Amino acid sequence: FASDGFPAGSAAYRFEHSREYERTQLAFADAVESGQPDRLAEILHRQPYHVDTLLQLAEVFRLQEDAATAADLVERALYAMECAAAPGFSFASDRCRLSFARRENRALFSALLRHALALTGRCCHRACLETCKLLLSLSPTADPMGSLLLIDAACLMSGQEEFLLRLLHAWEPSRHLTQLPNWAFSAALARFRLGRPDAAAALDAALIQFPSVLAPLLARLSVEAAPPVSGCRLFSAAEADRDSSPGLRQLCGLYVQRCGHCWKEAAAVTFLVSGAARVAEAAAATPPDPRIAEAAERRRRRYRRTPLNVLRHLVVSEVRDALADLPADVDPAGLNAFDPLPPPDSVCGYELDRLRRLRAGAGGASAADDGLLTAFLRSLMPNFDLSAPPQPQGAEGGEGGGGGGLAGLLESVRQLLNGLGPPPPPFDEEADGGVD
């Protein structure tokens, strides 16, 4: 861990890998590209706190619906990186910065978002909020993992409406947070909960700007819209499909999925339905409210391209439709568990290809066409590709045999985690060592 300068009153840092860790990174890349799960297990046995291996296996356990083990692996990755932090770096400070462009730094961003999502799944909403604050503070300008798409939900679910509105007040002039559907609706709900007089106006503005949120939100609440609302063209599915981009539809769907239950109180439902009725009346007026046409134009102009940080957030948040709607210039090979969608300006302190050339007998299989995670999962689960029939197991890996298949790998990792006591500082034998 080293200093990386002092930009604008803050302190920037970067992770640095020791030579030993570089060799482990090379072994990890070879293991993923080869599609042999036993090689990943071997790395974890040799280096139980190798961060990328922990994050990769956490995704495998998540896909197998073992959330507890997946969360354990992510927490171990965070512990490893915390142990490597420099004395001047504090996770409790809002002045420490890390560049997302640096390959060695990105594991911390990915691990923090996965940890925040796991905390939400365990109803630890205040802890999720604090984790999101930390994630945002590492790179507040770029927000490379889209933490602003989760902070509002964490605020509502932890009773921190005042903080939500303070953040909105501070950042709206420069970041235009209400141009995100989650912030537009969450801010209106926060104002309503706090009894603010401008709550109704905020809700009307949110419904006009993002009318496609209403129908799925009412469906989530099991509420039928009254005829003036149900017959309003502005709120119809056809209108939503006509002037909404795939990215905007995904963001609206993500908000309903995350925050729909925050509106379930009877008073909040009444507040929502009343707002929808007002907007429907404004849309039916002659002439219609000019704000409606202005909002439609903004949707067509501003949401034509989904930013990379939003795509990363959608992918890590398990929004399956996000994978189908990736832009044509986004390489699917960038979708992996340990470094989803690397930025175009990515830099690294060393090159794995150079290490391969230096290593005697270098070679190994390549999975560039399929992507690292896809190739890995296909090797573990023959039916991972839905377009292909499952491949038969060999004699050694048949039913009931541990073999080198997915079940054997998962059980091996569980045994390793159970056998580890209180985790020691990783790579403490390396005087110059750093951890990803």
Average confidence (pLDDT) over 280-298: 90
Q: How many CA atoms lie within 13 A of 85 on its CB side?
A: 19
* pLDDT, average across residues 113-128: 95
Dihedral sign computed on CA atoms, order 106, 108, 112, 115: positive
pLDDT over 80 at 300, yes or no: yes
Per-residue pLDDT averaged across 354-372, rounded? 45
Identify the structural domains of the chain with CATH numbers, from first to last.
Answer: 19-145+352-359 (1.25.40.10), 165-317 (no CATH)
Rounded percentage of the chain residues whose pLDDT exceeds 70: 78
| 102, β-bridge pairs | 347
- The predicted model gives 250-255 an average pLDDT of 90
Regarding predicted confidence, which is higher, 195 or 367?
195
% of residues, the chain, pLDDT over 90 = 43
Q: What is the pLDDT of residue 385?
A: 44
pLDDT score at 415: 75
More confident residue, 129 or 432: 129
pLDDT of residue 386: 38
Q: What is the pTM of this model?
A: 0.82
pLDDT category of residue 14 using cuts at 50, 70 and 90: confident
pLDDT value at residue 219: 94
Query: What totals of helices (H) and strands (E) does the chain contain, helices first?
Result: 21, 3
- Helix residue ranges per DSSP H, 176-236: 181-193, 199-209, 214-220, 227-230
Q: What is the pLDDT of residue 266?
A: 96
Q: Which residue has the higher pLDDT, 368 or 90?
A: 90
Average pLDDT estimate for 364-369: 39
Q: What mean pLDDT do residues 26-53 have?
A: 85
- Residue range 332-340: mean pLDDT, rounded: 70
- For position 227, what pLDDT does the model report? 86
Contact 159, 238 (CB under 8 A): no
Mean per-residue pLDDT, 289-308: 89
Among 32-41, 166-175, 246-255, 395-404, top mean pLDDT goes to 166-175
Q: What does the pLDDT average to over 192-205?
A: 97
Structure token digits, residue 143: 């927000």
198 band by pLDDT with thresholds 50, 70 and 90: very high
DSSP-H helix ranges across 260-371: 266-284, 290-302, 308-316, 320-324, 352-358
Residue corresponding to tokens 């990943």: 40
Q: What is the mean pLDDT of the chain?
A: 81
User: What sign for the dihedral angle of Cα 308, 312, 314, 319?
Assistant: positive
Contact by Cβ (8 Å): 76, 54? yes
